[in-house]
Amino acid sequence: MMIVSSNAIAGKKIVKTLGIVRGNTVRARNIGKDILAGLKNIVGGEIEEYTKLIAEARDQSVDRMIENAEELGANAIVDIRFMTSYIMGNASEVLVYGTAVVVE
């Protein structure tokens, strides 16, 4: 599955547009990671625990979007975009969406 943020794929021709596809996940922090993040906040630097959490959420969202596209018969997704939103105190949603297409 080819996935791009542009509306075209160099060297490929879009022969069919199948529609919008998406994938999302909602992830919550846990107390252990919050304690480590709090300590890191005091000394400064990257909070690796949260970086890993958001990377896993993005990967899962992309996997779900790909499944959605495959169900439609797509072999590529163009114009992908990521969004995040706050759900509640310790939880956020990661959403990825794009247009499922068939390219040759």
CATH of the domain at 33: 3.30.110.70
91: left (phi over 0), alpha (psi -120 to 50) or beta: beta
Which tens digit of pLDDT belongs to each residue from 43-100? 677 777 778 888 999 999 999 999 999 999 999 999 999 999 988 777 889 999 999 9
Specify the amino acid at residue 55.
A
Q: Which residues, in sequence order, are bridge partners of residue 76? A: 2, 101
Residue 22: predicted pLDDT: 98
Q: Which domain holds residue 83?
A: 2-103
Residue 28: predicted pLDDT: 82
Q: 62 near 96, Cβ under 8 Å?
A: yes
Closest residue by Cα to residue 5 from 67, 103, 96, 66: 96
Q: How many domains does the chain have?
A: 1
Predicted structure pTM score: 0.85
86: left (phi over 0), alpha (psi -120 to 50) or beta: beta
